[in-house]
Amino acid sequence: MNAGLEYANGKNANIDSGMWMHHMVMFAVGPGRVDATCGNNKASLPHMLIGSGGVGNERMFSSGNERTPALVPQWSGLTNVGYHPKATDKLAFIVDLMNENMEDKIAYLTMTFDYVPGDGAGFDDMRPVWFDAAQCSTSEVKAPKQSGAFMVAAKAWTANFEGEVVGSAGHMHDGGDHLTLDVSGTGVVCDSVASYGGSAEYTSKAMGHAHSATAHISKMSICMGNALKVKQLNKGQVWTLKAYYDYNKNKGMLHGDGKQATVMGIAIMYVRVRAGQTFGP
Ligand SMILES: [Cu+2]
């Protein structure tokens, strides 16, 4: 799965032309779906936005403008795992686009799927786990400092199902340096590192407007293979996300008033669930 933003002529709409695929979140909505980390929460904001609760749907994919692809065989080497859509599922989206130009632009959110036709026989299912420094809220965290380094952490999550960890990737905002997942008793098991201005598309040309940064996050590294220290999710394991920012290293996004914009610390982890394994809280 991969999200993008493009113009009607098929050209990428990105920061170099003032267009941001700021956020999208894709939900699978339907009977039997339970969000792994917010499913027990009666009032969960991201789910309320799509007219649902944490039960009856799950956040299955998300992307910021860095547009990290979630490609299971590449992440894990596994070719027999995939997300099984159910006949009763509907997809729902939260979409937040940004246009820095002073005129309207028409752009399209794109979703690219690699899919296996048929009933998925021989494929194990997979389940997403959403870690968030503002869990079950809007994912936005007020920047605790206007300069220098700080860390924002998510409330620890106690695993409520079991399976094999396929991989995980983080999402941060400008100023972000890296984001870690740790498991109690083991320590850091995933370190997703931000890189900036990886291509010309990720460098803003405009000057003198609200956004002071010029090179923006273009990539978050993916925890897969050797970069993923825990491959087994067990019930009772305690997982914690920590997002490390440093405005001295990389400029943050500024609001019109010159103050740092809200930051994020998110990671999605995919877990292979074999038939017969316990599924959900
Ligand atoms: Cu974000």
The domain in which residue 8 lies consists of 2-273
Q: Is residue 229 part of a domain?
A: yes
185 occurs within a structural domain: yes
- 50 vs 243: which has the higher pLDDT: 243
Q: Output the average pLDDT for the chain.
A: 91
Domain assignment of residue 118, yes or no: yes
Beta strands 176-183 and 187-196 are antiparallel
124 — pLDDT class (breaks 50, 70, 90): very high
Distance 64 CA to ligand 1 centre (A): 6
Percentage of the chain lying above the pLDDT 90 cut: 74
**Amino acid identity at 68:** T
280 within a domain of the structure (yes/no): no
Residue written as tokens 């400092």?
145
Tell me, in angstroms, the distance from the centre of ligand 1 to residue 171's CA: 6
Number of domains observed in the structure of the chain: 1
Q: Ligand 1 centre from 23 Cα, in Å?
A: 6
Residue 83 domain-assigned? yes
pLDDT digits (tens, 9 = 90+) for 148-158: 999 999 999 99
Q: How far is the CA of 66 from the centre of ligand 1 (A)?
A: 10
Residue 215 has pLDDT above 70, yes or no: yes
Average pLDDT over residues 113-141: 91
What sign does the dihedral 156-157-162-166 (CA atoms) show? negative
Q: Which two tokens stand for residue 228?
A: 């993923």
pLDDT exceeds 90 at position 42? no
Ligand 1 centroid – CA 117 distance (Å): 32
Tokens of 63: 């992307």
Q: What is the pLDDT of residue 209?
A: 53
Amino acid 281: pLDDT: 43
Asked if residue 202 has pLDDT above 80, the reply is yes
Choose among 70, 17, 11: nearest CA to 202. Answer: 17
What's the gap in Å between 147 CA and the centre of ligand 1?
Answer: 19
Q: Rounded to whole angstroms, how far apart are CA atoms 269 and 164?
A: 10
Q: What is the structure's pLDDT at 280?
A: 47
CA of 51 to the centre of ligand 1 (A): 21
pLDDT higher than threshold 70 for residue 170: yes
Q: Establish if 259 belongs to a structural domain.
A: yes
Residue 278: inside a domain: no
What local confidence, expressed as pLDDT, does residue 278 receive?
A: 52
Position 53 confidence tier, pLDDT thresholds 50, 70, 90: confident
In terms of Cβ atoms closer than 10 Å to its own Cβ (0-12, 13-18, 19+), residue 215 is middle
CA distance 3 to 60: 13
